[in-house]
Chains A and B, each alone.
Chain A
Amino acid sequence: MPKVNTFKVKVQTGQQGMSEPVHFNFNNHKLPFENVVGSAESGKNFEGNFEVNSFAHSLTLVGPGSGKWEIEKITIEYDCENEKPYTIQFGAVTLDEATEVNIWQDPPVLAFDV
Chain B
Amino acid sequence: MNFIKRLFTGLKQEADTPVTVDSSVAEEAENSPVTAEAENSPVTAEAENSPVVEEVPEPEPAPSFPDVRNVLQIPVISESIFPENSDAVLIKAQPSPTGDQCLFTANRPLMSGNSWFFLDFESAEGSPLAEGLFCLEDVETVLVCEYTVTVTRKDKTLVDWVPLAKEVGAAIRGALEGGEGLIAEKIIADLPSEDEIREGIQKVIDDEVNPGVAGHGGNITLMTVRGNSVTIQMGGGCQGCSAADLTLKQGIHTSFRKAVPKVGAIFDETDHTAGLNPFFS
Contacts and interface: CB of A to CB of B under 8 A. Distances in A.
A79 to B, nearest CB: 18
A114 B92 contact: yes
B273 to A, nearest CB: 6
Contacts of B69: 25, 60, 100
Contacts of B165: 112, 114
A4 interface: no
Contacts of A113: 90-93, 169
A58 interface: yes
A58 B281 contact: yes
Contacts, number: 76
B70 interface: yes
Contacts of A88: 76
Nearest to B69: A100
A58 B72 contact: no
Interface string A66-103: 00000001000000000000001111110100111110
B37 to A, nearest CB: 54
Contact of A102 (B81, B93, B271): B271
Determine the interface band of chain B, counting residues with CB < 8 A from chain A.
Answer: 20 to 34
Contact of A114 (B66, B79, B166, B274): B166
A114 B104 contact: yes
A44 interface: no
B93 A114 contact: yes
Given A104-B273, A109-B94, A109-B97, A114 B169 contact: yes
A29 B81 CA distance: 35
A92 B72 CA distance: 11
Nearest to A111: B94
B24 interface: no
Nearest to B167: A114
A102 B92 contact: no
Interface string B65-90: 01001111111110101000000001
A99 B92 contact: no
A100 B271 CA distance: 15
Contacts of A73: 77
Contacts of B166: 114
Interface in B259-275: 271, 273-274
B73 A102 contact: yes
B273 A98 contact: no
A42 B157 CA distance: 54
Contacts of B93: 111-114
19 contacts: A28-B66, A57-B273, A58-B71, A58-B273, A60-B69, A88-B76, A91-B77, A93-B74, A95-B72, A100-B69, A101-B73, A102-B74, A102-B274, A110-B94, A112-B162, A112-B165, A114-B92, A114-B104, A114-B166
Interface of B: 66, 69-77, 79, 81, 90-97, 104-105, 162, 165-166, 168-170, 271, 273-274, 281
Interface of A: 1, 25, 28, 57-58, 60, 73, 88-93, 95, 98-102, 104-105, 109-114
What are the 6 closest A-B residue pairs judged by CB atoms, nearest first? A114-B169, A111-B94, A57-B281, A89-B77, A101-B72, A114-B93
Given A73-B77, A99-B72, A111-B94, 13 more contacts: A89-B77, A90-B76, A91-B75, A93-B72, A99-B71, A101-B72, A102-B73, A102-B274, A104-B273, A109-B96, A113-B90, A113-B92, A114-B168
